[in-house]
Amino acid sequence: MKKAFEGTSYYHIEICVALPGKQGELYKEREMENIYQVALGRPETMIFVRDQGAAWDLFTLGCYRDLKHWASSSDVSEEKRALAARQAGFNNPDEIGPYLRTLIDWHRDTMGVAVK
């Protein structure tokens, strides 16, 4: 984890509650999104799974240099995004968000900056 935080000061956190029986599929979808991200040259997110006691099933944490780094996926060509999506197991990049929503009851996400 220490390595993931090196050189970063901007963070994206997504907290998810899966629909009943969809926890495993949600975890797989999050792994597929990581394959997609890495294929685009973006950082892999860390996936944390609830063990006990929390209301959420999993959350992800992505570490970025700054806001521009987080938003840089829009700089990638449509062809490269389509290829990355297929490599990750999606039919196309526009399928990623809607597929996630078939697996979750709710999710929250937020952005944060490093406090030094």
Domains of the chain with bracketed CATH: 2-113 (3.30.70.100)
Q: What is the pTM of this model?
A: 0.90
> Who contacts 111 (Cβ-Cβ below 8 Å, separation ≥6)?
10, 11, 12, 13, 67, 70
Q: Which of 25-29, 52-56, 94-98 has the least mean pLDDT?
A: 52-56
> How many residues are listed for the chain in this entry?
116
What is the per-residue pLDDT for 72?
A: 81
| pLDDT cut 70: percent of the chain above it | 99
The pLDDT mean for the chain works out to 94
What is the per-residue pLDDT for 4?
A: 85
pLDDT at residue 74 greater than cutoff 80: no
pLDDT at residue 93 greater than cutoff 80: yes
CB contact at 8 A, 8 and 114: yes
Angle between helices 23-39 and 78-88 (to 10 degrees): 140
C-alpha pair distances (Å), 52 with each of 13, 46, 57, 89: 20, 19, 9, 30
